[in-house]
Amino acid sequence: MQLYNKIDKNVLKKKMQESSEERTTLSFYKYHQIKDPQAFRDHFFQLFNEIGVMGRVYVAKEGINGQVSVNTDLLEDFKKRMYSIDFLDQVRLNIAVDDDGKSFFKLIVKVRKKIVADGLDDDTFDASNGGTHLDAEGFNKLTEQEDTVVIDMRNHYETEVGHFKGALLPDADTFRDALPMAEEMIKGKEDSPVIMYCTGGIRCEKASAYFKHKGFKQVYQVEGGIIKYAQDVKEKGLENKYIGKNFVFDERLGERISDDIISRCHQCGTPCDTHTNCKNDACHLLFIQCDDCKKKYNNCCSQECSDIIQLPVDEQKKIRQGKDLGRQVFKKGRWKTPSEYRKSLNDKLDAM
């Protein structure tokens, strides 16, 4: 009984990149009390690994959160299997807006304490008592009201490449950080309409319940997040109030919602909104890089990392052996260039 992927990730990634198979990327979530997350996790992996589903799924006692890639020909089979799980029957499936079928290369299903790390004590409020859901038309209409506040509940690297016009943008590294920042930004607006949004809705589901608990009287959230909003305005011919890209947590790292480019290359400053992960396995810094800099630095964040990836593989392994700083994300507000950020990482590593 296979419960985990056992093939080397580089082999799987190469296979995915070379494949001509048509695939559909979608996301879903559901807050629901799961008594035995590990047993549910194993069942879920078996059920969807059988039909070649790829993606990243988190399971916790509070529910499930997933982003997956499905063979388009098996999409109906996928839905049938998904809806066969009682609490996931007819769960909303957000179909990706700008999809090349290269979003994931293997299936990972993990048990976590929470499906979204939020730092909240859920025992102090009803996490299921979220804000009123707004469809695209409702969102556009309410944002025309002068006292309406729109706030982005995503991280700084997400909002840097795209956001709704006029939205408040907390300069947060994580959702855990965004909550207190958002609370400070909308302080005094307890009686005004407050609309929250995120990628697919899961972060706002919890955040809106939290802010209702904090005394905000008119709390709304964008139904299905940016993904569903973008689909709806396109299908219904509505005004698109989202500018730029929607950052996504898969191999694509972004899907285009409008033609506006609102950010710049972190290395040379030219208009650009393409995120990349530094090719150096000891770094993997997430940053924005234009095509010219990608060529100049060999898909790396600095000349140093570019030099490292040209070394023999064994020497590269020795350099990164025993050194792990976790996921690193470049923040323009703190550093002038990724090279400067890389230097600060080296100082930390030398101190280990």
Catalytic positions are 198
| Residue type present at position 128 | S
CA-CA distances (angstroms) from residue 309 to 41, 47, 253, 267?
A: 37, 39, 22, 18
Do 204 and 153 touch, CB atoms closer than 8 A? yes
Q: Which residues of 223-262 are buried (b: 16+ CB within 10 A; e: fewer)?
A: bbbbbbbbbbbeeeeeebbbbbbbbbebbbbbbbbbebbe
Helix then strand then coil, % of the chain, to nearest 5: 35, 20, 45
Rounded to 5 degrees, φ, ψ at 54 are -120, 155
Q: Which two tokens stand for residue 100?
A: 């090349």
DSSP 190: T
What SS3 state is found at 17?
Answer: helix
**Nearest alpha-carbon partner for 320 in 286, 288, 278:** 278
| Residues in contact with 283: Cβ distance below 8 Å, sequence separation at least 6, in sequence order | 300, 301, 305, 328, 342, 345
Strand 286-288 versus strand 275-277 pairing type = antiparallel
